[in-house]
Amino acid sequence: MLTMEKRQIAAIRIKKRKRNNRLHWVHPILTKRVEFVAFYTLLPKLRQHEDKFSNYFRMSTTSFDELHLKLNDSIQRQDTFMRECIQPVQMYLASGCSFVDLHYTFLLGVSTISKIVRGVCCAIWSVLRLECIPEPDKDKWKSIAQKFETRANFPNCIGAVDGKHVRIVHHLNSMHINYKEYSSLVLMAVADADYRFVYANIGSYGKDCDSNVFQKCQLWRSIVNGTMDIRVSLI
């Protein structure tokens, strides 16, 4: 009897393996990327119309090419179709399209798109972090405070703080569940008088209120322990 049960179990496993076998290693439609994908067909046409290009990618052709040039070395180490990587990532970041939407737009596998988005986002942060969000020195803080006082009549203000809930996969009984009852991470940022980020903190639990998020961030600790490079009169 035991032998018969083992045979039945083995037969079931073999059947499942056959059922899960992929019909194609690469789906035929994905092999037609050169003929149909937006990178080869739409991008050249969009480049001829700056307003359309900007509306599609949320940046100018000049900014797109500059971004591509700066990320070139970092992305080239990650995949062989480096020139195609930034485009789906820009679409994802600008429009919030799902990976499935991008799968049909760029004829790339969903898992491939997932790796591309993560890889390019990490490259953007690594390459551009210090250039786009450098750590302000005392002269920068002073300049920010002067602009807030001149433009908004707020003296001794070195930044406007706000947070944004970024939705993530929902988990029951999670510390990520926020007051709107969905799971999220909190992106908290400090902006100067020109609406530009001077500091960002990403990853706090969705359940945390703004004050808790701020008190747990490195910026608050720097203010409290006196290591932040600002004049006392600005606090």
pLDDT of residue 3: 61
Question: In the chain, pLDDT over 90 holds for what percent of residues?
Answer: 19
pLDDT at position 147 over 90: yes
Lowest-pLDDT choice from 3-12, 16-25, 82-91: 16-25
Asked whether the predicted pLDDT for residue 160 surpasses 90, the reply is yes
* 167 pLDDT higher than 80: yes
The rounded Cα 222 to chain-centroid distance in angstroms is: 26
Mean pLDDT value of segment 198-219 = 89
What is the reported pLDDT for 192?
A: 94
* Region 194-217 average pLDDT: 90
pLDDT of 1 higher than 50: no
Q: What is the pTM of this model?
A: 0.64
In this prediction, residues 62-90 reach a mean pLDDT of 70
pLDDT (tens digit per residue) in 176-186: 888 888 899 99
